[in-house]
Amino acid sequence: MIFPAARVMFLTLLRDRGALAMAFVLPPLIFLIFAAIFSAAGGDQLRLHVGIADLARTPTTSRLVQVILEEPTLRVTYSKNATAGDVRGLVKDGAVDLGLIIRGDLNAREAGAPVLLVTHEARAIAGAIMAGHLQRLLAVHMPDVAFAQVLADLEAIGGITSEQRAWIDETFKEKADETRGDPRSRTAGLVASESALPRTAGWAVSYYAGAVAVMFLLLAGIQGAVGLIEERRLGVYDRLLAGPGGIAAIILGKFLFLVAQGTVQAALVFLTAYLLYDVDFIAAFIPWLMTTLAVAAAASALALGLCVACSSRQQAQVLSTFAVLIVSAAGGSMVPRFFLPPWLQEAGWWTPNAWSIQAYSSALTPGASFSSLGMAWAILIAMAALALLFTLGVSLRRRSV
Amino acid sequence: MLQPQQPAHPGSTVAVLSDVHLRFGTRTVLEGLNLSLAQGEIFALLGRNGTGKTTLMRLLTGQIRPTSGAVQVFGADPGHEAAPRRLMSLVPQDIALYPRLTVRENLEVMAGMAGMRRAEMSGRVDEAMALTHVEDRQNDLVEHLSGGYRRRANIAAALLTRPRLLLLDEPTVGVDVDARLSLHRTLRRLRDDGMAILLTTHDLDEARALADRIGILASGRLAEEGPVGEILQRMFGERREVVVTLSREPDHGVQAVLQRLGLNRTDNPLEWASWSTGPESFASLQAALRRHDIGLHEIRLREPRLEHVLAHVEGVRA
């Protein structure tokens, strides 16, 4: 009795081109877009667009402008004659992410900070990122300027004499001229970094493969589960209830089909990620498959539960759109969870999305602890079981309504 | 235990509803309903919308249980036991088939959902299609079928399990005359094979043409029940309806005379009707109309019909 219910869903899906595209074409496509957006935003490909006005036009400020122009992680709009008003205008118009107005020589401290960052409230994070860039560029490419600031402070408190400072300045300038063009001296610093994983693009986008997969599993699950309402409306339930057939068999058949469909959907998303971003899910195929089955089971059962509680197709569509968008946003399917405020990250644990993302992350990360993966699997399976019980309970109860 | 293929015994009782009361909250739907169905008969259930026809079917299928009273189908309570449900099938009012599946696929799926084994499925599907004459459209998607074929396929799906009791909820709504007559032939054949058939309908011609017995549901109970001829005889005896068709629309004076003669206007302003108790009263009415010089186009006697029974039961003048 379970197989016929699954066969109905399979044939119906096969003959509905829109549903087919939604189920198997859209998820990889959306994944590609999300991966392109967020791998850049969350990885090392974020290139801020900076508008510069050098009002001071001293040798030091010219060096700074040159350093910024040569920096590959920045895009720069610069004109020698640009004014502060021009830069502010570019920021307001959104033509650049932020502005940089060099108001005075970098070694002159009398008139306040010589460099002014002009930010836009909508892109406030760009200011913080640019401030970090500036510190790094000064430390690596213009250490004389950075050190001059320290010396000035020392001179102000009487730590060194004017003569000593002049000598140090001169020595620094000579050294800087000698080492210009030598990358070894520029990379030296207090902080170095390494990745816990081999440096490939795959790890950056594997998050989004899981995040997009679970969102589309929910959407496609609801698309399929809406059939429950149609069957009720058409009288198929009445027909079956009047005969020897059972509602439980239909629900289980639908559930199994949706799990199979979800597994194929997730496989397509991860295959796209594998082919284009080197997300090597095949190396961890068994954990990946187990995770996919758990995610598909949770998404399918939740979709069935939501649809069985609705009295009409329209109601189900409105409610499901609302629910899927909310859980996807809060659970990290739309925006990476590390971008979310702490309270939303906590709230996200109530969604299947967050646990699915967590499970995929643990399943695909070599050496990740099993406790994290096991916990995610357990919660996803518990969600599936509860939602399936709810669906069966409501369906059987409707028999007597 | 009852088996679907158990041979039918014409005349034996299939279903009995005894003093059934049903309330949904404060709304009373059925109030002391009594009904019995026999093997090898077609019973047509008539009544206005909302009188409880579909509810009665759901009681028989066990989908709802009575507030009080007893429902017995094949000797068991379908609300508590699965055995009676193995012997009955329901044809819902809507086309309860999957529109994007072919007729054959639908029937195979329905057979599978009814727990039929694959080995016997093909034969049963062919048999159901042959009974309802849908074989030639078996590979068409249901959504591409005409209304008549959809109805036939809807019935075919209910015949897969070879039920001994077939419940049809308005089976011929929206089908043309040919399709309806074809369905009637199918139902008669099933009845002749020993199947008990309960159908609800608003089509009085259908009930008259098809049913061995009818029941009229009103105020939560069967207000009339029995063969159509018996009910008409019981309710009208020798009385016949006199229908007077005037040659022109009557003025107020003529209308007053017609009313004094016991005639009532029908939906047609030229047509007035009364009940005659015999040839004498018919003749006297004719004479009276002539005496008042009322222009007649036609005057005729009409046999009492189901419409009259229904109108009488429901308290509405036909």
Asked if the model's pLDDT at residue A176 lies above 70, the reply is: no
**Would you say residue A227 lies in a domain?**
yes
How many folded domains does chain A comprise?
2
Which chain B residues touch A250 with a CB distance below 8 Å?
113
Residue A20 at interface with chain B, using a CB cutoff of 8 Å: no
Residue A18 at interface with chain B, using a CB cutoff of 8 Å: no
**Would you say residue A77 lies in a domain?**
yes
Range of the domain at A96: 46-195
Do A271 and A369 sit in the same domain of this protein?
Answer: yes
- The answer to whether the CB atoms of B161 and A243 lie below 8 A apart is yes
Q: Give pLDDT, residue B103.
A: 96
ipTM: 0.71
- Give the residue among B138, B143, B73, B76 at the shortest CA–CA distance from B107: B138
**Would you say residue A4 lies in a domain?**
no
Residues of chain B with pLDDT > 70, as a percent, come to 93
Residue B93 at interface with chain A, using a CB cutoff of 8 Å: yes
Which chain A residues touch B157 with a CB distance below 8 Å?
239
Residue A117 at interface with chain B, using a CB cutoff of 8 Å: no
Band the pLDDT of A384: cuts 50, 70, 90. very high
Cα–Cα dist A133/A260, whole Å? 48
Q: What is the pTM of this model?
A: 0.72
**Would you say residue A133 lies in a domain?**
yes
Do A334 and A209 sit in the same domain of this protein?
Answer: yes
Which chain A residues touch B88 with a CB distance below 8 Å?
242-243
Do A187 and A210 sit in the same domain of this protein?
Answer: no
Chain B: residue whose CA lies nearest to A228: B98
- Domain harbouring A118, CATH code: 3.40.1710
Pick the range with the lowest mean pLDDT from A65-79, A197-211, A286-300, A376-390. Answer: A197-211
Q: Give pLDDT, residue A330.
A: 92
Token pair of A57 as six digits: 């036009």
Highest mean pLDDT among A192-206, B102-116, B267-281: B102-116
Which chain A residues touch B93 with a CB distance below 8 Å?
235
**Would you say residue A211 lies in a domain?**
yes
- The answer to whether the CB atoms of A242 and B89 lie below 8 A apart is yes
Q: Which of A146, A177, A195 is the last residue of a domain?
A: A195
Arithmetic mean of pLDDT over chain A: 83
Residue B101 at interface with chain A, using a CB cutoff of 8 Å: yes
Do A389 and A248 sit in the same domain of this protein?
Answer: yes
Would you say B271 and B307 are in contact if contact means Cβ atoms under 8 Å apart? no
Residue B109 at interface with chain A, using a CB cutoff of 8 Å: yes
